[in-house]
Amino acid sequence: MITKVLDVSSEPINIDFIREASRILQKGGLVAFPTETVYGLGGDATDKEASRKIYQAKGRPSDNPLIVHIAKFQQLEAIAKDLPENAKKLADAFWPGPLTMVVNKNEVIPYETTGGLDTVAVRMPSHPVALALIEESGCMIAAPSANTSGRPSPTKADHVYEDLQGKIDCILDGGAVDIGLESTIVDLTEDVVTILRPGYINMEMLEKVVGQVKIDPGIVYNDKGTTSGAKPKAPGMRYKHYAPKGDLTIVKGQEANVISAINEMTARDMAAGKKVGIIATATTKDKYKEGNILVIGDRLDEKSIAHNLYDILRQFDELDVDIIYSESFATPNMGQAIMNRLLKAAGQKTIAV
Ligand code: AMP
Ligand code: MG
């Protein structure tokens, strides 16, 4: 299969390309498209075969459900069973935007799309290309991140091409995405709204809308980096994810201590013949002495860190480093989401200095 790349990065969006991609979806094919979080790999959510193709193209375990992307609240009503009041409140506050809601499903969305679950995860993205594609195709679009399973999520069309060329029909290239981390997932099937995956929409923002909010105990890690013992409720959070090829360790502590520890470990590893990568910030980059130093962003602009994280991990794969050291980014608003992804990429490996 030849993967067609259509450029929809300039305004106004090229409607002919949106129509071409829509026809592919309507015929049961796969189209990767930009959203404000990461690129999604889309197929018609009501078409079992299309969902099977998504799992196959990604090499994704078939029990890891897909998020259904919609453009109107009525589409959520059409696929949910007993929609809770909080769904409307959260949609009014955060849709279109980076929030995914898990609700009980009716028969419209097949089990092939929900990994066999009786619940369905639904999101209304805000990216104009994503909305145009949903509207023009008339499809609700099942779309996980458009990466090969186990690789960092794609934040640029090039990342999608690297992973999926020859395996999908089309990529809509809308340039680099905005946020760069996957959506916040909340479970609405129990009395208290529960965060299953942290993202740009954080706990405080959710609490302002629905009152009490819990975090799934399965995704909370203690000081030793081990879980509470509970299994994460979102199947995707159970898999080792976002793993770079190099062995990643996060170093946390006061900045000066972190820098000297990373410098020491880098000198030691390089003396042993290893290729070392360092994830630095705009203000610390000149304080590292050797190794492949990449700047993730500016600590005072936490959005820049989220935005570049996956791209940096992919760059280290290309550089073929053996070992990666990263500073820690427990920033005020997105810190939980950033550290959730970074810790997973590191297999929870952290050194406190
Ligand atoms: P991705 O779009 O690649 O970030 O993957 C979708 C994420 O949503 C995975 O972590 C899934 O496990 C999660 N998810 C999708 N549907 C459900 C559901 N019905 N219940 C819980 N988690 C879900
Ligand atoms: Mg994913």
Asked, for residue 52, whether it belongs to a domain, the answer is: yes
- 17 has a pLDDT exceeding 90: yes
Q: Which ligand is nearest to the CA of 80?
A: 1
Q: Which of 140, 165, 187 is the last residue of a domain?
A: 187
Last residue of a domain, one of 187, 203, 223: 187
pLDDT at 224 (0 to 100): 55
pLDDT at 26: 98
Tokens of 140: 């609700």
pLDDT surpasses 90 at 347: no
* CATH number of the domain to which 272 belongs: 3.40.50.11030
Flag whether pLDDT at 241 surpasses 90. Answer: no
Q: Is residue 199 part of a domain?
A: no
Asked whether 54 lines ligand 1 (CB < 6 A), one says no
**118 class by beta-carbon count within 10 Å (0-12 exposed, 13-18 middle, 19+ buried):** exposed
| Same domain (yes/no): 138, 9 | yes
In a domain, 212, yes or no: no
Domain count along the chain: 2
Mean pLDDT of all residues in the chain?
A: 95
Q: What is the number of H-type helices and E-type strands within the chain?
A: 10, 16
Residue 344 CA to ligand 1 centre (angstroms): 16
Q: Has residue 225 got a pLDDT over 60?
A: no
Determine the pLDDT at residue 238: 78
In a domain, 198, yes or no: no
Q: Note the pLDDT of residue 243.
A: 77
| Mean pLDDT, residues 251-268 taken together | 98
Ligand 1 lined by 109 (C-beta under 6 Å) = no
- As a whole number of angstroms, the distance between CA 338 and CA 345 comes to 11
Mean pLDDT for 202-225 is 87
- Percentage above 90 pLDDT, the chain: 89
263 and 152 share a domain? no
SS3 assignment, position 209: helix
Q: What CATH number did the domain enclosing 85 receive?
A: 3.90.870.10
Q: Are strands 99-104 and 119-123 parallel, antiparallel or unpaired?
A: antiparallel
In the reported structure, the alpha carbon of residue 105 is separated from the centroid of ligand 2 by a whole-number distance in angstroms of: 21
Is the pLDDT score of 229 beyond 90?
no
Q: H helices within 119-254, ranges in order?
A: 128-137, 157-164, 203-210
Strand partners, 173: 7
Does the residue 233 lie in any domain?
no
Among the residue ranges 191-195, 196-200, 226-230, 264-268, the one predicted with the least confidence is 226-230
Mean pLDDT computed over 205-229: 82
Q: Residue 222's pLDDT band (boundaries 50, 70, 90)? A: low
Q: Convert the pLDDT of each residue in 105-156 to its tens digit.
A: 999 999 999 999 999 999 999 999 999 999 999 999 999 999 999 889 999 9
Could you tell me if 56 and 43 are in contact, meaning their C-beta atoms sit under 8 angstroms apart? no
172: pLDDT confidence band, cut at 50, 70 and 90?
very high
Which residue among 66, 101, 189, 216 is best mutated to probe the pocket of ligand 1, counting the most ligand atoms within 8 A of its Cβ? Answer: 66
The answer as to whether 278 is a domain residue is: yes
pLDDT given for residue 226 in this prediction:
47
Residue 183 shares a structural domain with residue 308 = no
Final residue in a domain of this structure, among 135, 158, 187: 187
Q: Which domain holds residue 45?
A: 4-187
Pair 324, 248: CB distance under 8 Å: yes
Residue 32 shares a structural domain with residue 167: yes
